[in-house]
Amino acid sequence: MAHILIVNPNSSQACSDGIDAAVAPFRRPGGPVLDVATLAEGPPGIYSWRDWHAVVEPLCRLAEARAADVFVVACASDPGIEAVRAATPRPVLGVFRCAVAAALARAERFGVIALVEASKARHMLALRALGVERRLAGEIAMNTRIETLLDPVAARAALIEAGWALVGQGAGAVVLGCTGMAGHRAAVEQAIGVPVIEPCQAAAAQALGIVLA
């Protein structure tokens, strides 16, 4: 049976639980196994470039030590994707890149709701690597903590407001730029009337396509 390992590179178990809930609809009896692991060495959240770089080596070691048919790095800053790909012969997916691909399958231009201002540079790095930076309609940072995003109520109004603003900037789809936002996807989509892409779900769909092809 195929095994997909989704790795949360921060040390928040609550964040991992949210990722697990987000990908639960992709599990089927007798189908590929989707496991969610938490990187114990990771910071509480990936807010800065220092946090981003700090998780690269632990992610490489995990990929070398664990058996999986596909590895998914479940942070919307896609830390260390290239390094982890060099550490394992198995496919390695970054959830942000998967989310952007899903957004572009639905709309000509897309927007991103980021965790903090510093996330924007990391997202732009990924967009340039994909060659799609000109299709970004806009990006808005929440400038909050992951713990606030994980609350089912605390950040929802602000997320919806950011989504509306991105639609106003021309976004035909919106990417949630932090895995801590997973529990808000359906509510934001219903409120703003355009597709809202949750990165771990987008990556799970792509990983299933790889192992089932």
Q: Which tokens belong to 119?
A: 């996330």
Rounded to 10 deg, the angle between the 119-130 and 95-104 helix axes is: 60
Whether 205 and 195 map to the same domain: the answer is no
pLDDT digits (tens, 9 = 90+) for 104-163: 999 999 999 999 999 999 999 999 999 999 999 999 999 999 999 999 889 999 999 999
Structural domain boundaries, residue 180: 96-199
Overall domain count for the chain: 2
Whether 206 and 166 map to the same domain: the answer is no
pLDDT, one tens digit for every residue, the chain (213 residues)? 899 999 999 999 999 999 999 999 999 999 999 999 999 999 999 999 999 999 999 999 999 999 999 999 999 999 999 999 999 999 999 999 999 999 999 999 999 999 999 999 999 999 999 999 999 999 999 999 999 999 988 999 999 999 999 999 999 999 999 998 999 999 999 999 999 999 999 999 999 999 998
The answer to whether residues 123 and 114 touch, using CB atoms and an 8 Å cutoff, is yes
Whether 101 and 192 map to the same domain: the answer is yes
Q: Which tokens belong to 212?
A: 């089932």
Whether 42 and 77 map to the same domain: the answer is yes
Whether 85 and 179 map to the same domain: the answer is no
The predicted model scores a pTM of 0.95
Whether 102 and 88 map to the same domain: the answer is no
The answer to whether residues 75 and 176 touch, using CB atoms and an 8 Å cutoff, is no
Q: CATH no. for residue 28?
A: 3.40.50.12500
Residue with token string 């938490």: 38
Whether 110 and 191 map to the same domain: the answer is yes
Whether 190 and 109 map to the same domain: the answer is yes
Whether 52 and 90 map to the same domain: the answer is yes
Whether 153 and 164 map to the same domain: the answer is yes
Residue with token string 């799609």: 132
Whether 29 and 101 map to the same domain: the answer is no
